[in-house]
Structure 1
Amino acid sequence: MECLTVQDKKSIFINSLKRRYKLQYDAIQPIPYIKDRLYCVDKVFVEGGTEIYVVEGATKEKEGPWVRVDSYKDIFTDPRMKAKRRIIEAEAGYGKSTVTLQLAYDWCNGVKDSPFKDVEILILLRLRQLNSKISIYHAIKMFLAPSDPRIKSSDIKDIIESCSSVKVLLDGYDEFPDRDGATGSDVGRIITSNLLGNIDVTLTTRYLPKDYDKANTKRVRLVGFDAKARDQYIRKAVTGEDDESVAKIKRALQANPILDDLCQVPLIFVMFSHMTHEKTHFQKFKSVTEFFSYMIQCFHSHLSNKSMDKSAKAYNIEYAVKYKELSKVAFEGLCGENQQLSWRKDGLCTRLGQGFCQHYIAVGILVEEEVSAVTNEQTSATDIQTRTDVRFYHQLFCEWFASFRLAEVVAATRGASELKNVLDKVDPFNLQYLYRFTCGISSAVGKRIIEYLKSREDGGKFAILCILEQTGEVDGIKDTVRDLCSNRVEIWNRYSKLLQRSTIQLLEIASRFDIPISCVVLDSCSPRVDESGLNLILKSGLSLSILSSLQELWIGDRKRRLTNEEFAAILSYSSQCTSLKELRFYKYILPDTIPVGSIPSSLKSRNVKVLDNQDLNGSRRLNLQTGLWQPCDEKGNLPGEEGLDERSNVRHLLYSARRK
């Protein structure tokens, strides 16, 4: 038998890894129902928003800032990210897995400016394929080097220990079967640095693990596609430099303002842009439910059209319209105590029927995947086995089918108390589209759900979006939005992401339909302006686009010091809110003088009041012609204007003395 050195085995192992990764990064499928159109990740990958969490200056009472970086490469090269452990957080569909495949492409192809160029070995594992009983070395053998008998699990451990540089990517902790479990899995030990402690490990997940090495872990988050990233993706992956086709896709999105929030999710925008490009006419959608219903129809229509080929399998129309049992499976998976997003194929086929299951796999709504079948941690390397599991292409598809079951469950409840018992177990803050879809498909059920949401703390604004799903017409919620916007609308950093997102979407609906927005308060959100200058990015990562009907904007964050550049960017954003009369800063420490050149001319021509409110210590107003601050009263009036009194001047002088 051939005697191989560790170096020989390393070379064999590296070649095996590169073959495996090539199969993965060459199989990007933008439209899941078009299975014969695959792309290399490098041909479709576009930089979305990437932010790093800066620990310096953070305290128990105050978080450190999230800072935008230029590229996914900065996750590994930025000096502030120097660590052996990183966590990349993002919601479903925001491109976590795509980033790992781009890094795998970089490593396999020796991309010059990649942080992985000189790495000896890259280990990329999809955690949903593992279980708690399998060792990390068995997992690597099983999924990355399964067909080469010359490499054993024990060899992999020796190879890794012999390398000068190893990077590990663990993709999808939120889908790991034993996430946050107490079984002492190898994955858990790696996250807490009790295993592979000297090796660079990056974890991707929708949420932070309950237990991780906080002292030595850096955090990253992906915040989705802004306008620049959308344009870049269309040109790179869909149309090329065909300006007319680019404009067509952008018009389709602009014609569907209700989809703006949904299309910040890269996965959904990718499907939307490809589908728009494929169609000679793309219809206008009035709700997210209507859009998703149309998309599901496209999946089935494509398979139906293919079945007309003489050699193709016959298409069963019943499968497209009779999916009651699949809806139950989806609902049970989402709403169980431990969320389940994948199922054993043999068990699922038994429950749904073999023909039905294969139909939905062929359509692209369900996806097959090889996973670990190890049930005993003593299993030897020679006995390693896998099985086939099935999952939804994306969690949104799971929420779509689950909504039909939720509609049945709600319809069967009697009275508000019984309804509350059911819905209290279905968290709208984690499953917002499940609620929106349910309200969209059943008017009667939607009415009861909306009443429930209104009774929940912070549920009122989300309820308005559910009303929009129910009516399909903005006219149906205009009066409610007008009433909301006639008062001060506040967005605090402590608000849940769902509440922030719901509030933002309602403000943007008001702006689109020229409903006056009296005042928006952004408290402790540390907003900054994105590269396009068209969006304020909040601390949560959510963005607020230009609001043309906004009259007053208040921004505050205690003791946060704004640079001249940050201040100028906010002035620039504000100048594009064409109805704005007042921009008020509070709790900030602002620059003492503002370069006149950084003050937009439109603010000057409209004489917008730019105010610095320092609680009880006095107020001052920016002279837009000189860039200097001047004392003013609480209403922002300057000397000679109505309302300034002697006390305001005294208060300002005392305040100025204290600052000096």
Structure 2
Amino acid sequence: MATQGCIADDLLFQLADNIETGEQMEALGRALGFKAAAINRYTDTNNKGDRVTCKGTRDMLFNWRQTVEPCDQHLRLKQALTDVKLVMLADTYLKGTPSIRDIFNKKISESLTVEQCREKLRNKYLNELCKIQMKPWDQNAYAEFRDMHTVVTVMKKDAHGKDMKIKEVIQNSVSDIFSTKVNGILPARILISAPAGRGKTTAVAKMAYDWVHREKGSALEHLPLLFVVKFRNTGQLTSIGEAIKSQLLRDVDDLTPEGLENFIRKNQGICHIILDGLDEYAGISSSNRSLMSNIVNVIRWEEFLQCRVLVTTRPHLENFFNQAELATVYTKMWIDGFSRESSRDYIDKFFASSSNANNGHGLKVYLDDQPLIDELVKTPLFCLMVCHLWSNGLLDSGTTTQTELMDSVNLFLRHYANARSKSRVKITPGMLRKIILQLGEVALTGLLDDAKKLVFTPHDFRGVPALLDMACELGIVSKTTVSSTWLPQSDETTSTTIEFYHKIAQEHSAGKFLADQTYHFLLHFKISKLDKVLRKIEAKIGDYENLIRFAAGTDNKLSFWKRARDIAFSLIVHQRPPVQKEMCLRWFKDV
């Protein structure tokens, strides 16, 4: 299957000539995935004129071929012919093509067939990957993949494969990512870029969901194996085989990373790989090839050339894919989150069941007047939160900055945590402030170590274990514990990770702590915590825009305002390019 190319025209001509009846043609059309209206059009073409021809049947087969990857065409056509009892035609024209049963019986290791592997991946994705928590205050509320409003755009290429700087919206959003052709060809490599929270993780989960459920019409419907690897769970030297084995198939004792890689190498046509979160991978920034794993070779299109690979990242790594041949190999796509139209549709649906549907209109008017808040609403999670805040009276025209909005979100989380709690001791506003500041200290330490840090461990909270429990109760952070018996050189049986519900929540708490410390030290020692932080982040200050924004928005007293103003003018006048000027202006909007 991996070695077969596109079905030849002659084969389709001969096959069409030998489909004898209209009933056979219609049955084959249904098996190939055509809808009734399309089949009727092909039937009408056959019946045009004085005699019955097979032109409509030929058109149907040629049009079907355009929608299927070349390596899949022989297998899919043979299976369709077999399904509609045209076995003799299948054996005559597609002799030697393995059946789906042959593919699924292939062995990856002595104890693992393709079919068994698919079942393991299916269970893994359904129980973990596809469970995207949508509400920090409700651990049982998960994303609904059948009602996604996310906008995905793709970069057009010229005849030479160069980007044309023209974007097109993909019609069916995430569902059509793998089926989108560029210049008539399905790309071997796809890059999906988006800022934090715009929906990359949800998009990856949606693709896994389509694969698991063999979603009708999806490019993943007939794909035997889909491997989804999270970069956050890999080390710099982790190989692609080790990553797949450790994250997805760690309970298969006789499967080795090398054996898995060899299987993929020999069967690239039946495997797709999704590499999620390149910005969380240390190996991509190394200039020493000896310190790189073969994951980098896969990304660079030096390994698994016929295996389709999709990579997701944040925008700051896009330039990596503009170098040399990668610019022509990769098709670039962007997840733009909610468009203005999508967010307004979502608001209408949210308030449709409300006793006061006019609330939705009032919220839309408010967002039209508040561009800073409207910018956050492009993120699906915050669109949902804004709807809840508005319906609960925690958001009004007096909320004009992102800092104020995030403060309101924390009040909302406190309200729900207290309502859920069976304890008579409730979280007071004073306790909430203390929790945010203590969380902020951990968050700031993490951000200063690595601006891209998203995952923490209990060790990071070792000084405040009680705080961690309360923060989890609020929903500001969550804990995940998994078996770690597969980890090399580890005696631990479990591994626990801690994450903020969104990077912006992490940056907000860090900004609150920074502002508190800056004001405190200015009053007592005339030494600014802000100055110390800025010296550390100066070279990459663009990565810390939200940190400074929330710090400035928290303390708009003269002390912080003067420091922020001095910093901004220094950046603008002396050392920073125009993009930093825009960043500084955005700081001031939150002050």
What are structure 1's unaligned runs of at least 5 residues? Answer: 471-660
- In structure 2, the CA distance between the partners of 1:77 and 1:98, relative to structure 1 (3 Å rule), is same
Question: C-alpha separation between the residues in 1 aligned to 2:177 and 2:231?
Answer: 21
Moved over 6 A (4+): 371-376, 382-385, 413-421
- In structure 2, the CA distance between the partners of 1:317 and 1:129, relative to structure 1 (3 Å rule), is farther
In the TM superposition, what whole-angstrom CA distance separates every residue of 1:230-249 from its partner, at most 9, and x where no partner exists? Answer: 13434567756996564354
2:76 is aligned to: none
Question: C-alpha separation between the residues in 1 aligned to 2:122 and 2:106?
Answer: 20
Q: Offset at 1:54?
A: 3.0
2:233 is aligned to: 129
Percent identity between matched residues is 21
- In structure 2, the CA distance between the partners of 1:47 and 1:333, relative to structure 1 (3 Å rule), is same
2:509 is aligned to: 401
> Among 278, 283, 300, which residue is 1:192 paired with?
300
CA contact under 8 A between 2:413 and 2:475: conserved in structure 1?
A: yes
Q: Offset at 1:99?
A: 1.0
Counterpart residue identity of residue 450, structure 1: R
2:381 is aligned to: 267
CA contact under 8 A between 2:395 and 2:408: conserved in structure 1?
A: no
- In structure 2, the CA distance between the partners of 1:286 and 1:280, relative to structure 1 (3 Å rule), is closer
User: Over aligned residue pairs, what C-alpha RMSD do you find?
Assistant: 3.7
In the TM superposition, what whole-angstrom CA distance separates every residue of 1:305-333 from its partner, at most 9, and x where no partner exists? Answer: 211368xx975876522244432221222
1:168 is aligned to: 273
- In structure 2, the CA distance between the partners of 1:146 and 1:359, relative to structure 1 (3 Å rule), is farther
Question: C-alpha separation between the residues in 2 aligned to 1:188 and 1:375?
Answer: 23
1:644 is aligned to: none
Question: C-alpha separation between the residues in 1 aligned to 2:178 and 2:330?
Answer: 12
For 1:213-612, what aligned pairs fall within 5 Å after superposition?
213-234=326-347, 239=352, 244=358, 246-247=360-361, 249-254=363-368, 256-277=370-391, 279=392, 282-284=395-397, 285-308=399-422, 319-323=431-435, 324-336=437-449, 339-345=452-458, 347-351=459-463, 353-369=464-480, 379=488, 387-408=495-516, 410-411=518-519, 412=521, 422-423=533-534, 425-426=537-538, 427-442=540-555, 443=557, 444-457=559-572, 458=578, 462-470=583-591
> Among 157, 166, 181, which residue is 1:79 paired with?
181
Residue 165 of structure 2 aligns to a residue whose secondary structure is: coil
Bigger helix fraction? 2
1:48 is aligned to: 151
Question: C-alpha separation between the residues in 2 aligned to 1:327 and 1:185?
Answer: 34
In the TM superposition, what whole-angstrom CA distance separates every residue of 1:324-361 from its partner, at most 9, and x where no partner exists? Answer: 4432221222233664332222x12313x221112212
- In structure 2, the CA distance between the partners of 1:460 and 1:136, relative to structure 1 (3 Å rule), is closer
Q: Offset at 1:262?
A: 2.0
- In structure 2, the CA distance between the partners of 1:374 and 1:91, relative to structure 1 (3 Å rule), is farther
CA contact under 8 A between 2:155 and 2:165: conserved in structure 1?
A: no
Q: Which moves more between the two structures, 142-151 or 435-444?
A: 142-151
CA contact under 8 A between 1:361 and 1:368: conserved in structure 2?
A: yes
In the TM superposition, what whole-angstrom CA distance separates every residue of 1:453-485 from its partner, at most 9, and x where no partner exists? Answer: 133224555545434422xxxxxxxxxxxxxxx
Q: Offset at 1:224?
A: 2.7
Counterpart residue identity of residue 233, structure 1: Y
Question: C-alpha separation between the residues in 2 aligned to 1:107 and 1:40?
Answer: 16
Q: Offset at 1:76?
A: 2.9
- In structure 2, the CA distance between the partners of 1:218 and 1:267, relative to structure 1 (3 Å rule), is same
Q: TM-score, normalised by structure 1?
A: 0.61
CA contact under 8 A between 1:125 and 1:171: conserved in structure 2?
A: yes
Q: TM-score, normalised by structure 2?
A: 0.67
1:90 is aligned to: 194
CA contact under 8 A between 1:89 and 1:220: conserved in structure 2?
A: yes
Question: C-alpha separation between the residues in 1 aligned to 2:393 and 2:526?
Answer: 48
Query: Does residue 143 of structure 1 match 2:247?
Result: yes
Question: C-alpha separation between the residues in 2 aligned to 1:296 and 1:119?
Answer: 43
- In structure 2, the CA distance between the partners of 1:340 and 1:239, relative to structure 1 (3 Å rule), is same
2:102 is aligned to: none
Counterpart residue identity of residue 102, structure 1: K
Q: Which moves more between the two structures, 130-139 or 389-398?
A: 130-139
CA contact under 8 A between 1:28 and 1:41: conserved in structure 2?
A: no
CA contact under 8 A between 1:328 and 1:405: conserved in structure 2?
A: yes
> Among 180, 189, 209, which residue is 2:285 paired with?
180
Question: C-alpha separation between the residues in 2 aligned to 1:281 and 1:409?
Answer: 28
Larger RCO (CA within 8 A; separation ≥ 6): 2
- In structure 2, the CA distance between the partners of 1:179 and 1:428, relative to structure 1 (3 Å rule), is same
Question: C-alpha separation between the residues in 1 aligned to 2:423 and 2:492?
Answer: 41
2:165 is aligned to: 64
Query: Does residue 115 of structure 1 match 2:205?
Result: no
Counterpart residue identity of residue 239, structure 2: S
Question: C-alpha separation between the residues in 2 aligned to 1:192 and 1:384?
Answer: 35
Question: C-alpha separation between the residues in 2 aligned to 1:132 and 1:428?
Answer: 25
Counterpart residue identity of residue 48, structure 1: V
Question: C-alpha separation between the residues in 1 aligned to 2:420 and 2:337?
Answer: 34
Query: Does residue 31 of structure 1 match 2:145?
Result: no
Question: C-alpha separation between the residues in 2 aligned to 1:24 and 1:49?
Answer: 24
Question: C-alpha separation between the residues in 1 aligned to 2:443 and 2:529?
Answer: 22
- In structure 2, the CA distance between the partners of 1:370 and 1:41, relative to structure 1 (3 Å rule), is farther
Residue 196 of structure 2 aligns to a residue whose secondary structure is: coil
CA contact under 8 A between 1:238 and 1:274: conserved in structure 2?
A: no
In the TM superposition, what whole-angstrom CA distance separates every residue of 1:117-136 from its partner, at most 9, and x where no partner exists? Answer: 12111111221122224332
- In structure 2, the CA distance between the partners of 1:419 and 1:46, relative to structure 1 (3 Å rule), is closer
Question: C-alpha separation between the residues in 2 aligned to 1:339 and 1:281?
Answer: 31
Question: C-alpha separation between the residues in 2 aligned to 1:240 and 1:169?
Answer: 38
Counterpart residue identity of residue 476, structure 2: I
Counterpart residue identity of residue 317, structure 2: L
Counterpart residue identity of residue 276, structure 2: D
Question: C-alpha separation between the residues in 1 aligned to 2:390 and 2:294?
Answer: 44
1:487 is aligned to: none
Q: Offset at 1:447?
A: 2.8
Q: Offset at 1:82?
A: 3.2
Question: C-alpha separation between the residues in 1 aligned to 2:427 and 2:165?
Answer: 55
